Structure 1
Amino acid sequence: MGISVQNLSFSYGKSPVLHDVSLDVPEGRFSVILGRNGSGKSTLLKLIAGMLPYRAGHIAIAGSDINRLTFSEKARMIGYLPQFHNPVFPFTVEDVVLTGRASYVFALPGRRDREKTDEAIERVGIRQLQRRPYTELSGGERQLVMIARVLAQEPKVILLDEPLSHLDLSNQVRLLALIRELVASGLTVVAVLHDPNIAFMYGDVFILIKDGAIRRLDQGENPWDASTVMDLYGVPVEALSFRDRALVIPL
């Protein structure tokens, strides 16, 4: 499912964040949102997920106005991983992942709900955590659990806000490989990332946010050069080529 954003503006109170943004996110691609802290990356993701109200503009997923979708329709269409998640109750990991099936459950979880929960746990590689209380896990382990929860939803679009935070190198590589698998199967994935080198190595489409404005670049255009990165982040860098992908090194 593709995503269309047209003439979108958003403010927190009197503080503008996004200004007349128009953007098309292609179906079945890995799109990465990049920009400085506070530039509006997480806000854009929340708006696409239907979690923030907006007055100016239009957002549609697969042609459906996000504001007209019910909670269940959104949950079956969109899987969203927040930047922060504060646990309250000591549910087991399995139960936390099972909550991803909420839009399908009308009474007690059924056989399919249990199967999809089990598949998500296996796919993310957290079988060893299945019976442990979620509140006792490390930050990285919790992040993996929440990713499994998203997969249990069976969404068509996955929105990830800083999915690599708290993860060690091994789990970062595993998650990025999983994202590529999901995209290869036809899912649309959009993620906020902080490391441009990881974005360049794994992403297909790049959404650059600066001063409330957006610029979209495609990997096939070979767009990355030092001036693009310096303009986005405000630091001097040198751009190198590695395996047909760009790498940037701060100077």
Structure 2
Amino acid sequence: MSLEITDIEFSYPGHTVLKGVSLEVQQGSFCALLGPNGSGKSTLTKILAGVNRPSAGRVRFDGVDLLSLRRREHARTVGYVPQSAEAPFDLTVREAVLLGRTPHYGLRPGRKDWQKVDDAIELLGLTELESRRLSELSGGQAQRAIVARAIAQDTRLLLLDEPTSALDLRYQVETLQLVRWITRQRGITALIAIHDLNHAGRFCDQTVLLNGGRIVASGSPLEAFEAELLREVYGLDVTVEERDGYAEVRPVVHELEYQI
């Protein structure tokens, strides 16, 4: 069930975002999409999620054209966690997580659907909050509920667009640990658009670095994180070290003098 992205192009009026992006992610891999703001990582995630439509290129998952799937079949195949934790209605946590099961049942959810909901709520540490409304939660708590919704959806491809941006450090780590565990235990494929290079280097199997709408590096973190390339992409002096088998990126901070 590999994901094959071939020659994807996408533009907004007057601005080209993705320029011939090609990428393959193997089944059971946790892949990070990295790059500075405007590099195209969120746009690529939205194309895979069916939110945006590319002007050219194709996407195949498990040999099937992902972009041609009907909405319900797409929702059974792809789970998506957007940047915003907003829900369309003022739902409780349990009701919001149940939305992930709607592609799988007819008129009403069954026992299996509720079990999937309860399992996802427990995995994300939301049991004590399950009767609270999303509007009553902090941004980080609401974001965890949206992640739980995607987990309950029980898909083979999981997409996450900067899901840890509203979370404190503990829940950032726990969420990334959970996604990595799910990919390995259930054999699903996961892609995450993320800014934190060190989180990607610690938790992800594959890292893809985008810049100016093109892929400039792809491979394991130890392969893709080259100091000279990162300096060029981010405009910041950095060092890259291997620590306990993982890639660690550190900025080189130079003292600046300001005239007031």
So what's the TM-score if we normalise by structure 1?
A: 0.95
**Contact map agreement 1:205 1:216 (CA 8 A) in 2:** no
**Contact map agreement 1:121 1:148 (CA 8 A) in 2:** yes
**Contact map agreement 2:221 2:247 (CA 8 A) in 1:** no
Is 1:35 paired with 2:30?
Answer: no
What is the identity, as a one-letter code, of the residue corresponding to 1:22? S
Which structure 2 residues correspond to residues 116-195 of structure 1 after superposition, within 5 A?
A: 116-185=116-185, 186-195=187-196
Deviation, 1:220, is 7.5
What is the identity, as a one-letter code, of the residue corresponding to 2:231? M
Q: How far apart, in 2, do the equivalents of 1:113 and 1:162 lie?
A: 27
SS in 2 for 1:90: coil
Distance 1:154 1:88, change over 3 A: closer
SS in 2 for 1:229: helix
Q: How far apart, in 2, do the equivalents of 1:215 and 1:166 lie?
A: 28
Q: How far apart, in 2, do the equivalents of 1:220 and 1:40 lie?
A: 19
Residue 206 of structure 1 aligns with which residue?
207
Residue 97 of structure 1 aligns with which residue?
97
Distance 1:29 1:20, change over 3 A: same
Aligned length: 251
**Contact map agreement 2:222 2:246 (CA 8 A) in 1:** no
Deviation, 1:84, is 1.3
**Contact map agreement 2:221 2:246 (CA 8 A) in 1:** no
| Structure 2: unaligned runs, 5 residues or longer | 253-260
Residue 255 of structure 2 aligns with which residue?
none
Q: How far apart, in 1, do the equivalents of 2:76 and 2:211 lie?
A: 32
Q: How far apart, in 1, do the equivalents of 2:238 and 2:56 lie?
A: 37
**Contact map agreement 2:30 2:204 (CA 8 A) in 1:** yes
Deviation, 1:163, is 1.3
Distance 1:155 1:130, change over 3 A: same
Q: How far apart, in 2, do the equivalents of 1:37 and 1:221 lie?
A: 23
What is the identity, as a one-letter code, of the residue corresponding to 1:246? A
Deviation, 1:171, is 0.9
Deviation, 1:219, is 1.8
Higher mean displacement: 161-170 or 209-218: 209-218
Q: Where do 4+ consecutive residues of structure 1 move more than 6 Å?
A: none
SS in 1 for 2:87: coil
**Contact map agreement 1:23 1:216 (CA 8 A) in 2:** no
Q: Give the superposed CA RMSD.
A: 1.4
Residue 240 of structure 2 aligns with which residue?
239
Which structure 2 residues correspond to residues 103-122 of structure 1 after superposition, within 5 A?
A: 103-122=103-122
Deviation, 1:216, is 4.2
Once the two structures are aligned, what percentage of the paired residues are identical?
A: 39
* Per-residue deviation, residues 139-195 of structure 1 (Å, max 9, x unmatched): 000110000000110000100000111111111121121112111121111001111
**Contact map agreement 1:157 1:188 (CA 8 A) in 2:** yes
Residue 81 of structure 1 aligns with which residue?
81
**Contact map agreement 1:33 1:192 (CA 8 A) in 2:** yes
SS in 2 for 1:37: coil
Deviation, 1:13, is 1.7
SS in 1 for 2:50: coil
Distance 1:86 1:223, change over 3 A: closer
Deviation, 1:228, is 2.2
Distance 1:189 1:88, change over 3 A: closer
Q: How far apart, in 1, do the equivalents of 2:224 and 2:91 lie?
A: 46
SS in 2 for 1:59: strand
Is 1:9 paired with 2:16?
Answer: no
Q: How far apart, in 2, do the equivalents of 1:96 and 1:183 lie?
A: 23
What is the identity, as a one-letter code, of the residue corresponding to 2:39? S
What is the identity, as a one-letter code, of the residue corresponding to 1:198? H
Q: How far apart, in 2, do the equivalents of 1:91 and 1:220 lie?
A: 39
| Structure 1: unaligned runs, 5 residues or longer | none
**Contact map agreement 2:200 2:221 (CA 8 A) in 1:** no
**Contact map agreement 1:87 1:135 (CA 8 A) in 2:** no
Q: How far apart, in 2, do the equivalents of 1:27 and 1:50 lie?
A: 20
